[in-house]
Amino acid sequence: MIEITIPKLGLTMESAKLGRWEFSSGDAVKEGETILVIETDKVSFDMPAPSDGIIHPIVPEGTTCAVEEIVGYLAENREEYERIIEEHPFGGAEGTEKVEASQAGAVSQAGQPAAMPPSSAGPKGRIKASPLARSMAATNNLDLSAIVGSGPGGRIVRVDILRVLEEAPAIAGKKVEKPPQEIPKGIAIKEISESIPIQGVRRVILDNMYQSLSQSAQLSLHTEACAEPLIALRERFSRDEGKVSFNAILVKISAMALRLHPRINASVEGDDIRVWRQVHIGVAMEANDALIVPVVRNPDIKTIREIDHEILELIQKTRENKLSPDDLANGTFTISNLGFADIDFFTPIIRPPESAILGVGRITKKPSVRNDHVIPEARIGLSLTFDHRIIDGAPGARFLKTIKEMVEEPLLMIN
Amino acid sequence: MSNRELSCSTALREAMREEMERDDTIFIIGEDLVAHGGIFGQFEGLPERFPGRVIDSPISETCIVGSGVGAALTGMRPVVDMHFADFVTTGMDEIANQMAKIRYMFGGQAKIPMVLWAPDGGGLSAAAQHSQSLENWFVHIPGLKVVAPSEPSDVKGLIKAAIRDDDPVIFFQHKRLFAQTGHVPEDEYIIPIGSAAVKRPGKDITILTYSRMTYLCLEAAEQLAKEEIDVEIVDLRTLKPLDFALIAESVKKTYNVLIVHEACLTGGFGGEIAARIGEELFDYLDAPVMRIGAKDVPIPFSPVMEDFVLPKVSDVVEGVKKVLNR
Amino acid sequence: MKTSKKEKLSLFKKMLTVRAFEQKAGELFQQNLIPGFIHLSIGEEASSIGTCSVLRTDDYVASTHRGHGHMIGKGADPRMMFAELFGKATGYCKGKGGSMHIADFSVGILGANGVVGGGFPIMVGAGLSIKLRKTDQVGVVFFGDGAANRGTFHEACNMAAILKLPIIFLCENNLYASTTPSEYTLAGGSVAGRAGGYGIPGHVIDGNDILEVRNVVEKAVAKARKGKGPSIVENMTYRYRGHFEGDPQKYRSTDEIDTHRKTSDPIERFKKHLQKEGILTTELEEKIKKDVTKLIDEAVQFGQDAPLPRPEDALEDLFVNP
């Protein structure tokens, strides 16, 4: 059994954030495969597996760990693995929270109580609910563990289910109340902590964002795709010459999808809709506290590996502040990936004069229903914002569906 | 349509007269029937109208019930008057081992078209041996049909059905309801054995009840309506065979059930109904099925104690609120 | 009463039939081919055949747990009797009754009863029915010395007496009620002696003398038929077998049984009478015995060949209108 620990990557390094486990507990890994991405304030580091084995992470993603801290184990074989998982269960309070949160699934979570009423959970976590309430909850896909019962002894009864169903649309506005804090008496004191002039890139972004939203009719659609084929595809590529990024694959998919839906690859100019002949896809990046979107040229006729190289080059240039205006010009579509921040879905803002932008969420395991069974499966959030002045809801939706289908069946890229 | 109001007693008499006119194989046998038409006047006028067909018997319950069985086996349609339902015990073998079983034991060779008419129930200070409600004993014996009507129109319609039925029927008529009046249709009608009826439609809770308790529940429903609780009352009318289809229809609408009977709570018929509802209507229940019955003691003599033991309107009101958790 | 030669031979054959039936039933029971209990009436043939022989087909009989003789006497078919004893679907009661609840309503048998004294109230009802329908039928309720102590006996005698019902209370006093001798249990020492208390006639007779049985019962029947009310007839008799097959019979000695068999057997006595009258020759006796054997063998065969009921048949015949 091998302990997986946070390596000391620099003389002064004391800790690192556990960014992302590339494998789940019980997966077989090969020596040299990246098993873990850790992040310091300077750099993101892909940790390779020290040998072949069966991996068992014990620290959840997002945890800040000290150097040399054990974050997982690598078992030699299945028996050793079985023993390890018993002795070293995954995570702690944090871990189970995550598990519960993801089990909520695509379900309205109204009824999050502010106060603490009699628990509807009986001994051993058994939930007290009338047979009718159970049946109603099952029909409406409600999670009983999130509902507070008003019946005797905290039993969940029919009115409680009805209440949840009525309040469902209102969840968005619901906030969890924080307990009142010490408020100083008198008028609120507000002092300047720092003053930053709006100039340069920030000015451009400010103007562009405002212009974008005020001059076009933007709406966003969200969907979620099974990410297993994507992961498999990336894996397959990795076996040849090293990894390609998910972004590279998604750029390729978007490009092929745009070929099938040319009206998305368009702009408004005066009284005309310009449908562009070429496809150039910008990949949103962060550089020096600002958003920058270098453009990958003609990805529709490039291979994924070529796209990947191009993206890496652009990243490099971005980091070294060596981007040229050519690198940023003439994009016809944009991809923005916030998956690193655990975002599932968002409403990206279109970069004028483009008419659409794809927001990509994180890839994470979620419960999914296949053949009436609930199974864990890697899923990826996909959000599309488009300009309703020239793209209607249905065509927009169809375009997003094509992307989703290609994500789930990469072979569809070959057209 | 007339506004004819009859008492339960008059309704019974009218039914008996009509049936005895229609079919001369019908006769009545029991104790003290001729002089006054029965100790409750229940058959008043019939001995005169049908001489020889209302027969006084000595105090020999085995042979009173037995007469019914033997006569039924040999071509007659007897109505046997049990005097007080409590006295079924003195003729129990004839009821449980003969009346209920002969048709079956003899492979269907014979039929027993007999009615055992038994006045039951408490609230008259008649004390332990003259106040019981024993219907559940007979529900438990295969081979018998058990009927327990409440209002006069049910009494008339069901006694006719019972007499015309070729199978043995035990007919429990509550003593305290003899004087209770109600509308009775003028035209000929029968209420089929095995049909319950909604006596008060409602949406919040289903009360299943029968006999005198139906009236108790109606009164409770009035009180509960003032508190905005809308009670549906299902009068079972026949206990065996039970009209479960109607019960299910009601429960599927209200999701809450309270069973009310005058018989003692423990081992009472309510337990059987509750179990069946649990088995067949489980997913429709928003609360456990609850029952109300008399306290598990013999009926005491003194009115203040008898009132305490028998179910009251307030018991029903509280029971409804408990089920609904209000 | 007058009994012709032909009738006498017929009576003799019937007695032999009962005995053969009972003996065969006993054998089959020993071989475990008959489930449950059987109660054999070997030794009581004069009482059952004699009594039933003076009744019409439309007269009623209420029988007891020891009722095979009553059935055969009243005209029941031994084939369907054996089928019922075997629990078969084509038995008299479709296998639902067995020996203790055997019945044949087509010949007026209102059933055997497993409750001692259970027949009295039923026969009161039948008698009442006869009266109300104004027919001239009569009913005979068979019972034993033990049943005479049940409340139902007294209620029935009383009620039959006051209503002048056309029924005969026919006691087959075989001196034992299961394990208790009537010497011990029967207050007053006589069943017929109780009749006076109810103001009705009571007769004690030698129940093993078939002609005497016929004589006395016939008179009681005639009286009843004329509407003159009930009577008690007490046939003194004896059973050679235990109360039930398998009874260890510690309550009496084998000597006692042998004595009765030797001195008072009803079949032997009637045989002697027939021989003395010149009615019964050896050849005739042989022939009759052969016929009876054949009859019983065929009946057993019928019963054995009969089909078993389907298990779910148990749910039928409860109600006329389910």
Domain edges within chain B: 5-183, 197-324
Cα separation, B161 vs B167, in Å, equals 11
Asked if pLDDT for residue A182 goes beyond 70, the answer is no
Q: What is the pLDDT of residue A198?
A: 84
pLDDT of residue B9: 97
- Minimal-distance CA residue of chain B relative to A157: B286
Longest CA span, chain C: 60
What the block records as the tokens of C255 is: 């000597």
Across the interface, of C60, C97, C156, the residue whose CB is closest to B106 is C97
B51 interface with C at CB cutoff 8 Å: no
How far C123 CA sits from the closest chain B CA (Å)? Answer: 6
Question: In sequence order, what are the residues at sequence separation of 6 or more whose Cβ sits closer than 8 angstroms to the Cβ of residue A67?
Answer: A6, A7, A8, A13, A14, A15, A16
Residues 6+ apart with CB under 8 A from C94: B107, B108, C309, C313, C317
Token readout for A411 is 């072979």
Under CATH, which number does the domain A201-413 receive? 3.30.559.10
pLDDT for res A415: 64
DSSP H stretches of helix in A216-303: 228-241, 246-260
Q: Assign B202 a pLDDT band (cuts: 50, 70, 90).
A: very high
Inter-chain residue contact A131 with B282, CB threshold 8 Å: yes
Is domain C5-303 annotated with CATH 3.40.50.970? yes
Chains B & C: contacts with CB separation below 8 Å: 149
Average pLDDT over residues A315-323: 82
CATH number of B197-324: 3.40.50.920
Would you say residue A170 has pLDDT above 60? no
Residue B94 gets which letter from DSSP?
Answer: I
Asked whether residue A122 carries a pLDDT value surpassing 60, the answer given is: no
Chain A residues whose CB is inside 8 A of the B282 CB are 131
Chains C and B touch (3+ CB pairs under 8 A): yes
| C96: closest chain B residue by CA | B105
Q: What average pLDDT is seen over chain C?
A: 96
Which CATH number is A107-166's, of 1.10.260.40, 3.40.190.10, 2.60.40.10, 4.10.320.10? 4.10.320.10
Task: Give the closest residue to C154 by CA, choosing from C194, C106, C114.
Answer: C194
Amino acid in position A322: K
Q: Give the tens place of pLDDT for each residue, B241-285.
A: 999 999 999 999 999 999 999 999 999 999 999 999 999 999 899
What's the whole-number average pLDDT of chain B? 96
Q: Which range, of A92-96, A250-254, A331-335, B176-180, averages the lowest pLDDT?
A: A92-96
Is it the case that residue A116 has pLDDT exceeding 50? no
Nearest CA in chain B to C133: B25
- Best residue in B252, B286, B321, B323 to probe A by mutation, most A CBs within 10 Å? B286
Choice among A141-145, A184-188, A214-218, C60-64 with the minimum mean pLDDT: A184-188
CB atoms within 10 A of CB A337: 21
CB contact under 8 A, C110 and B73: yes
CATH number of A2-97: 2.40.50.100
Domain spans of chain C, in order of start: 5-303
C317·B104 Cβ contact <8 A: yes
DSSP conformation class of C80: H
Do B5-183 and B197-324 fold alike per CATH? yes
CA distance A142 to A136: 8
Residue ranges of domains in chain A: 2-97, 107-166, 201-413
pLDDT exceeds cutoff 60 at A172: no
For residue A68, the model assigns a pLDDT of: 85
Q: What are the tens digits of pLDDT across the range B42-65?
A: 999 999 999 999 999 999 999 999
Mean of the pLDDT values across residues B1-9?
A: 86
Q: Is the pLDDT of residue C163 over 80?
A: yes
CB-nearest partner of C151 from B25, B62, B98:
B62
Q: Write down the ipTM of this complex.
A: 0.86
pLDDT band with cut points at 50, 70 and 90 for residue A123 = low
Tell me which of A87-96, A230-239, A392-401, B303-312 is least confident.
Answer: A87-96
Q: Residues C120-130: pLDDT tens digits?
A: 999 999 999 99
Determine phi and psi for C120, rounding to 5 degrees.
-60, -55
Contact A152 B255 (CB under 8 A): no
Q: For the purposes of burial, counting CB atoms within 10 Å of the CB of A11, is it exposed (0-12), middle (13-18) or buried (19 or more)? A: exposed
The structure tokens 């079983």 sit at B101
- Cβ-based neighbour number of residue B79 at 10 Å: 25
- Inform me whether the pLDDT recorded for A325 exceeds 50: yes
pLDDT per residue over B12-38, tens digit each?
999 999 999 999 999 999 999 998 899
Pick the CATH number of B5-183 from 3.30.2420.10, 3.40.50.970, 3.40.50.300, 3.40.50.1400: 3.40.50.970
Torsion of CA B80, B82, B83, B84, to 10 degrees: -150
